[in-house]
Structure 1
Amino acid sequence: MPSCLSGKKMNNKQNILLAFYGDDFTGSTDALEFITRAGAKAVLFIEPPTAEQLLQFPDIDVIGVAGKTRALSPAQMQEILLPAFEQLKASGAKQVHYKVCSTFDSSATVGSIGKAIDCGATVFPNKLIPVIGGMPALGRYCLFGNLFARMGIGSNGKIYRLDRHPSMSKHPVTPADESDLRLHIGKQTEKKIGLIDITQLDLPVEQWKEALTDEEVILVDTMYEEQLTKVGEWMNDLEEEKTLFSVGGSGVEAALGNYWNEKGLLTKVSEWKKPVKATPLLVVSGSCSPVTAAQIAWAKSNDFEEVIIDAQKIVDEGTVDAAVLNHVAVFLQKQKNVLVHTGSKQTENLSSEKLGAALGIIAKHAVLHSNVKRVVVAGGDTSSYAARAMGIDAVEMIAPIVSGAPLCKAYSKNKKINGLEVNFKGGQVGAEDYFGLF
Structure 2
Amino acid sequence: MSATAKHSALPEGPLLAYYGDDFTGSTDVMEAFTLAGVPTVLFLQTPTVEWIARFSHMRCIGLAGTSRGRSPAWMREHLPTAFASLKAFGAPILQYKVCSTFDSSPDVGSIGAAIDLGVAAVDGTWSPMVIGAPRLRRYQAFGHLFAAMGDVVHRLDRHPTMSRHPVTPMDEADLRQHLAHQTSRRADLIDLVALKNGLGPERLKAALAGDQPVVMLDVIDEQTLALAGQLVWENRGDGLFSASSSGLAYALVAHWRQAGLLDAPPTLLPTQAVTCIAAISGSCSPVTAAQIAWAADHGFDTLRMDVGAVLSSDTFDCEVHRLVSAAQIAMERGTSPLVYSASGPNDPAVRAFADLAQRAGLALSQAHERVGQALAATMRRIVDTTGVRRIAIAGGDSSGAVAGALDIAALTVASDLAPGAPLCRAHANTATMNGLEVALKGGQMGKPDFFERVLQGTG
Do they fold alike, i.e. is TM over 0.5?
A: yes
| Number of the residue aligned with 1:291 | 287
Whether 2:349 is the aligned partner of 1:346: answer: yes
Map 1:214-225 onto structure 2 (within 5 A): 214=209, 216-225=213-222
Secondary structure of 1:109's counterpart equals coil
| Number of the residue aligned with 1:327 | 326
**Contact kept in structure 2, 1:279 and 1:372, CA below 8 Å:** no
**Contact kept in structure 2, 1:332 and 1:371, CA below 8 Å:** no
- Report the CA distance shift for 1:268/1:22 in structure 2 as closer, same or farther (over 3 A): farther
Q: Percent identity?
A: 40
| Number of the residue aligned with 1:363 | 379
| Residues in 2 aligned to 1:123 and 1:258: alpha-carbon distance in whole angstroms | 27
**Contact kept in structure 2, 1:35 and 1:253, CA below 8 Å:** yes
Runs of 4+ residues over 4 Å off in structure 1: none
- Report the CA distance shift for 1:355/1:411 in structure 2 as closer, same or farther (over 3 A): farther
Whether 2:402 is the aligned partner of 1:386: answer: yes
Deviations 1:32-63 (A, max 9, x none): 10011121111100123232211112311110
AA at the equivalent of 1:336: T
**Contact kept in structure 2, 1:102 and 1:250, CA below 8 Å:** yes
- Report the CA distance shift for 1:210/1:19 in structure 2 as closer, same or farther (over 3 A): closer
| Residues in 1 aligned to 2:59 and 2:182: alpha-carbon distance in whole angstroms | 32
- Structure 1 or 2: larger helix share? 2
| Number of the residue aligned with 1:407 | 423
Which has the higher mean CA deviation after the structures are superposed, 174-183 or 123-132? 123-132
Secondary structure of 2:403's counterpart equals helix
Secondary structure of 1:173's counterpart equals coil
| Number of the residue aligned with 1:46 | 44
Whether 2:241 is the aligned partner of 1:229: answer: no
Aligned counterpart for 1:209 among listed residues 204, 207, 211:
204
- Report the CA distance shift for 1:120/1:296 in structure 2 as closer, same or farther (over 3 A): same
Aligned counterpart for 2:179 among listed residues 153, 178, 185:
185
Q: Following TM superposition, by how much is the alpha carbon of 1:229 offset from its aligned partner in structure 2, in angstroms?
A: 1.9
- Report the CA distance shift for 1:58/1:37 in structure 2 as closer, same or farther (over 3 A): same
Whether 2:216 is the aligned partner of 1:200: answer: no
**Contact kept in structure 1, 2:387 and 2:432, CA below 8 Å:** no
Q: Following TM superposition, by how much is the alpha carbon of 1:268 offset from its aligned partner in structure 2, in angstroms?
A: 4.4
| Residues in 1 aligned to 2:162 and 2:69: alpha-carbon distance in whole angstroms | 16
**Contact kept in structure 2, 1:411 and 1:417, CA below 8 Å:** yes
Aligned counterpart for 2:443 among listed residues 424, 427, 430:
427
Q: Following TM superposition, by how much is the alpha carbon of 1:211 offset from its aligned partner in structure 2, in angstroms?
A: 5.1
Aligned counterpart for 1:20 among listed residues 18, 21, 44:
18
Count of aligned pairs: 421
Aligned counterpart for 2:56 among listed residues 48, 58, 67:
58
| Residues in 2 aligned to 1:226 and 1:244: alpha-carbon distance in whole angstroms | 23
Whether 2:77 is the aligned partner of 1:79: answer: yes
Q: Following TM superposition, by how much is the alpha carbon of 1:263 offset from its aligned partner in structure 2, in angstroms?
A: 4.0
| Residues in 2 aligned to 1:79 and 1:213: alpha-carbon distance in whole angstroms | 30
Aligned counterpart for 2:262 among listed residues 261, 266, 273:
266
| Number of the residue aligned with 2:90 | 92
**Contact kept in structure 2, 1:130 and 1:217, CA below 8 Å:** yes
Q: Which runs of 5+ in 1 are unaligned?
A: 1-12
Q: Following TM superposition, by how much is the alpha carbon of 1:369 offset from its aligned partner in structure 2, in angstroms?
A: 1.6
Whether 2:166 is the aligned partner of 1:166: answer: no
| Residues in 2 aligned to 1:50 and 1:94: alpha-carbon distance in whole angstroms | 22
AA at the equivalent of 1:331: A
Deviations 1:287-326 (A, max 9, x none): 1111111111111111111222122322332545323222
**Contact kept in structure 1, 2:125 and 2:208, CA below 8 Å:** no
Q: Following TM superposition, by how much is the alpha carbon of 1:272 offset from its aligned partner in structure 2, in angstroms?
A: 3.1
Deviations 1:158-183 (A, max 9, x none): 10000000111000000000000000
Deviations 1:306-348 (A, max 9, x none): 2221223223325453232222112112211111112444213
| Residues in 2 aligned to 1:16 and 1:373: alpha-carbon distance in whole angstroms | 31
Which has the higher mean CA deviation after the structures are superposed, 61-70 or 14-23? 14-23
AA at the equivalent of 2:290: A
